[in-house]
């Protein structure tokens, strides 16, 4: 991150140092982050990892999902906005007032989009100005219907490129039978 002059370690808790290195070196595709409230998992993924991936991979875009669309404006959208400010790169991004318009990385035109998954089939018609969806983030994983629902989405998003990052964050449900606990 030296070329961007960002002190990332000042923005994340030490337990995420190695994970961030793993993400930036693309050692894995799928990352699952269970944790309670205050664990900073969503701050780390949405606020730090996603903007950094956008800034360091000029051909990818990000899609950030919540099961219920009307929760985006008060959850994952401000989380990404917060991270951009924490990283000190707000002048490099156009941040709209509402999630229905993507956050845009000005130097390249890359987008961070937000979508509710009341109907996962809506992702079939995703169109981008260039490149491909390289990053997906499913927030509150336990609220989705199950792996088949997410597979419907990733079949539309994880194509057309060579590197992908799939993030899943959630508070582990009390019920051990919830699919997200598997």
pLDDT tens digits, 63-105? 999 998 888 998 999 999 999 999 999 999 999 998 889 999 9
Is pTM beyond 0.85? Reply is: yes
How confident is the model at residue 2, as a pLDDT?
41
Tell me how far apart the alpha carbons of residues 152 and 102 are, in angstroms, rounded to a whole number: 22
How confident is the model at residue 26, as a pLDDT?
95
30-50 confidence digits (pLDDT tens): 999 988 777 888 999 999 999
Cβ contact 180:142 at 8 Å: yes
pLDDT greater than 90 at residue 109? yes
Tell me how far apart the alpha carbons of residues 115 and 61 are, in angstroms, rounded to a whole number: 13
Among 122, 98, 102, residue whose Cα is nearest residue 112? 102
Calculate the average pLDDT of the chain: 87
């Amino acid at each position: 991150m030296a070329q961007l002059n960002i002190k990332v370690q000042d923005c994340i808790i030490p337990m995420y140092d190695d994970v961030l290195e793993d993400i930036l070196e693309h050692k894995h595709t799928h990352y699952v982050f269970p944790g309670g409230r205050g664990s900073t998992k969503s701050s780390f993924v949405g606020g730090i990892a996603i903007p950094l991936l956008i800034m360091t991979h000029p051909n990818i875009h990000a899609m950030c999902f919540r099961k219920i669309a009307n929760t985006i404006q008060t959850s994952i959208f401000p989380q990404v906005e917060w991270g951009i400010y924490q990283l000190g790169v707000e002048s490099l991004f156009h941040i709209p007032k509402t999630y229905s318009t993507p956050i845009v990385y000005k130097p390249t035109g890359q987008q961070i989009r937000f979508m509710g998954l009341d109907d996962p089939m809506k992702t079939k018609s995703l169109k981008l100005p260039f490149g491909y969806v390289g990053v997906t983030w499913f927030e509150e994983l336990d609220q989705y219907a199950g792996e088949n629902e997410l597979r419907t989405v990733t079949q539309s998003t994880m194509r057309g490129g060579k590197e992908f990052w799939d993030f899943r964050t959630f508070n582990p449900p009390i019920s051990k039978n919830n699919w997200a606990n598997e």
